[in-house]
Structures are given as structure tokens and as C-alpha cells.
Amino acid sequence: FHGADSSGHPEGCPFERIKAGGQPESSTLQVSSSGRTFLVTCAPVPDEAGDLWRVIHTATDITGLKHADLAISESEARYRTMFETSTDAILLINGTILDCNRSAERLLGFTRAEIVGHDPAEFSFPVQPGGTTPEEAAADPGPAAGAEPNRFFPWQYRKGDGTLIETNVSLTPVTLPEGRRLIAIIRDVTAKKQAEEAIRKSEAVLRLITDSASDMVWLSDLDLVPLYVSPSVVRLRGFT
């Protein structure tokens, strides 16, 4: 079983332990001669006096199972690395938050221990821009009930210090061994929103200036097609 070159029982062999203790023993052993992995079990057979007399050996080839376990472990390690290193905040949800990554801690301003076990609504603004409350959003089955594969929507969160966080959320249902769950991938777009608002205000100020100017001001493309004309152009030229 251990191969022609074996000089004795390999390290961890249950046979040596059963001789010492007289109790059933089992170990997982890799047999170098075959490259296979076995679950080896040794069961004692006592004599009439109760002393160890014989040993029943059972070897079950679990090579395929070990390979599958290794593949699962490697896959879990890869996804865990992706989960933890993502620049987007990620929440695993089943009514309450089951897990979160480091980006979620930075986004919300709380530690993982302060986030896990809580309702996502606790970290949201009470009323969203569209008038929806977190409770109303949670009552909408959406992807949780399989009505749609995933959903994308803007959402406002509240940081630990009360700061408003503008985000875009991707909510996707997944089936895990523990059951159906939701994965929320949350991208912070606060800076983008602030930049857009600054541009909007700048454009509004510029329009106010040009609309009030007595000089004629117009904007055209490279073919001289007018894109904007100030009111002074209309007054002085007599065209609308």
C-alpha cells in the first residue's frame, strides 16, 4: 500500500497510534508511490482477554475530493481577494448586512464590527432625492424576489460623521450554499456630483452675465452655426 520503497509506516499512520492506545484511529495520508490521497482508518480487534489482537485497515481514495476541496479553497481565496481589494464598497445582505469589505468601512466611516448585523437603512439618509425612504425601498422585492436579475440606482448614504455620500448602487441576487443573498456594489460619486454642480452653477453665472451684457455675444460651432446668442443680439439685429 505504501509502495515497494517504503521502510515502514509513514508519519501520521493510524496503525502506530492504535497500537499505543487500542482505540480506533484515522488519518488522511498521501501515498507517494501512487500520488493518491487516502482516508485510512484502523479499527482494533481484541482477543478474549480484551487485548489488541488484530487490526482492520480501511483505505478510502479521497484524491478527487481533496482536489475539489483545493479548487474550492483557491476559488474562495481569489474571490475574497477581489472582495477585499475592490475600490468600490461591497455589502453582502440578507435583510441585515452579513459582510462588508474595507472599502465599505472607508465609505461609511464605521468598522466592520459596527456595520455587520445592521440594517442598510441605518446608514442611509431618511429620505432619498426621489422621495423614497429606505424602508420603502426594502419593501420593493426587486432582485431579491427574482423579479429582475439586477438593479442600478442612485442612493444617498450618511457617513459616521453625518457627511452626505452620493453613490450609485448595483444590487444583484446571488445563490450561496447558505441560501439566496444580495450583493450591493456601491460606488462613491460624491466628487463627481459636486463637480457637476459646480459646472452647472458656473454655467448659470456665465449665462446671467452674457444675458445682461449690452455687447453682442454669441457662440457658434466651426461651421459658424449659432449655438447661443445673447439677448443683445436679438435686440440689435432684430431677429429672434
Three-state DSSP state, 118: coil
pLDDT tens-digit map of 62-95:
888 877 777 667 667 777 778 888 999 999 999 8
pLDDT tens-digit map of 154-194:
899 999 898 999 999 999 888 877 788 899 999 999 888 88
Three-state DSSP state, 127: coil
With residue 75 as reference, give the H or E element that holds it: helix 63-85
- The reported pLDDT for the residue numbered 6 is 58
- The reported pLDDT for the residue numbered 95 is 86
State the CB neighbour count (10 A cutoff) for residue 133: 14
Percent of the chain with pLDDT over 70: 85
Judge contact between 16 and 23, C-beta under 8 A: no
pLDDT tens-digit map of 92-147:
999 899 999 999 999 999 999 999 999 999 999 888 877 777 777 766 655 444 44
Residues paired with 40 in a beta bridge: 27, 59
